Chain A
Amino acid sequence: MSLELLGISVLWIFLFGYVIVASIDFGAGFFNAYSLLTGKQHILSKVIKRYLSPVWEITNVFLVFFFVGIVGFFPQTAFYYGTVLLVPMSISLILIAIRGSYYAFEAYGTKKGHKGYALAYGLTGLFIPASLSIVFSISEGGFVNIIESQPILDYGALFTSPLAWSIVMLSIVAVLYISAVFLTWYAKKANDEKASNLMRKYALIWAFPLIISSLGIIIELKSYPNEHFAAMTNLWWMFAISGVLFLATVWLIWARTGYGLAVMLLVLQFAIAFFVYGISHYPYLLYPYLTVYDSFTNKAMAISLVVAFIAGLCLLLPSLYLVLKLFLFNKDYVRGNQDYHV
C-alpha cells in the first residue's frame, strides 16, 4: 500500500468514527430538546445523559484528529480548503463551541436543566452536520474558482446547488436515524422500556426520509460534471449490500428483536456507503485541483507521521476499550444503579 493511500485511509477511518459518534451525540441532543417541547422529557433525558456524559469530550477529539491529520498528511489541503472554508467552518466552530460548552454547563451547572440551553443544544445538533457537510459538496468541484492563484468559494453556486442541499438533507436525516437506532438499543439495555419504545418509533420514522435523500444524492451526482458517478456505478454492488443491511436493520427494529444486532448492521451499512463514496472519489481531494498524490507531504514527514500514528493507536485502542467496558457495556452503569459521578 502506498503511503498516500495509507494516509487517506487512516483519516477516512477517523472521519467515519466521528460521523458515527457525533451522529449519536447530535441526534441525542435533538431528541432531548424535542422531548422537552412535547413534554416527554422525563422519558428520554436520563438515558441520554448517562450515555453522553463520559464521552462528549472524546467525540470532539475525533474531529480534531481528522483536521490535524489531513494538514499533516496533505499540507496543500490547508491552502485550498483553509482559504475556501473560512465562513462555513467558522460557523461550524461557533456551533460546536456553543454545544460543547453548554453540555458541560447544563450537566454540571443546574440541577433541573435550563429549557433554553436544551433547545439551543438540540438545534445546534442539526446545524453542525449541515454546516460540516458543505465540505463534501465542495469536494465534488464546481464551487471553487482560482482567481489570481488564490482559491475563492462561489457562494452563489453553492447556495443554489441542488446537490449541496441534498447532501445537507442526507446529513441531517442520517444523524437522526443513526442516533435513534443507537438509543433504542441503549435504552433497552438500560431496561428502560418507555425510552426504548419512543426511540424505536423515531428510528422507524427517520428510516424513510433516509432512503429518499440517499436516492436524491445519487440522482444529483448522475448529472454532475465529474467522474464521481461513473466510479460509483462501478461499485454499485457495494451500495446494494449497504441497502440490504439497511433493510435488515429496519426489520430488526420493527420486529423488536435484536437491537444490538441492529446497531451493528447500522454501523456496517454506513461504513460500506461511506467507504464506497470515498473510494469512488479517489484520488481527488478537491476536484479537479487537488489529488491525493500531488498534495501528499514529503516522505520523511509521512514516515514519521505513520510511526506516531501507530504509537498513538497502541495507547488509544486499549483506552477506548476501557471506556466501552466501563460505561457502554457495564450493566450497573447503563442502568444507573449507582451514581459514581465526581
Chain B
Amino acid sequence: MSRQSNRTTDSKKMNAELFTLTYGALVTQLCKDYENDEEVNKQLDKMGYNIGVRLIEDFLARSSVGRCQDFRETADVIAKVAFKMYLGIAPSVTNWSPAGDEFSLILESNPLVDFVELPDNHTSLVYSNLLCGVLRGALEMVQMAVDVKFSQDTLRGDNVTEIRMKFIKRMEENLPAGDE
C-alpha cells in the first residue's frame, strides 16, 4: 500500500472545543450520577488514571523521549512535550521545593474549562481532576509514584491554574530488566 495509508495512525489534529464539550458532558453526567463533589472528584481521578496508563504508550511511541534521570527532566518533558502534544498548551514549571521533589505546573489557560463557570453548589468540585489521574497513571507506568493535585484553579477565583506534583518514590519492583 502507498505511504498515504499510514497517515491514518498519525495523531490527528482536532478542534479543542469538541474535546472541551465532551469533557463537560462527562463531568455533568458524573455530577448527576453522584451526590457529592468528592465522589465526582474521585471518579474523575480514576478515569484519568485509566487513561494515563494507556496514553503513556502512545506518548512514548510518538515522541522519542527516553527514561528521565531526575524529576526536573520529568517536569520538562511533561510541560514542554506531553501537554503540548495532547492539549496544545505549554505550562510553566515553577515553585520547586528545595529537595527538588516537588514542583508546580502553571496553566495560563486550561482548555478543559473554556466555557465553564462553576455553580455555587459545587464548591468542592475539582473540575479538571481528570488531569491529575492522567499524570499519576502515566508516570506510574514509567515507575514513578507521584502525588498530583490542583492547588489553584481559575474556576474558583484564582488567577492561574496550578497543578502540584510531588515525587513519592521510584517503583523499583516494577522496573523492567535492563533499565536499572
User: Do A and B originate from a single complex?
Assistant: no
Q: Interface of A with B (CB < 8 Å)?
A: none
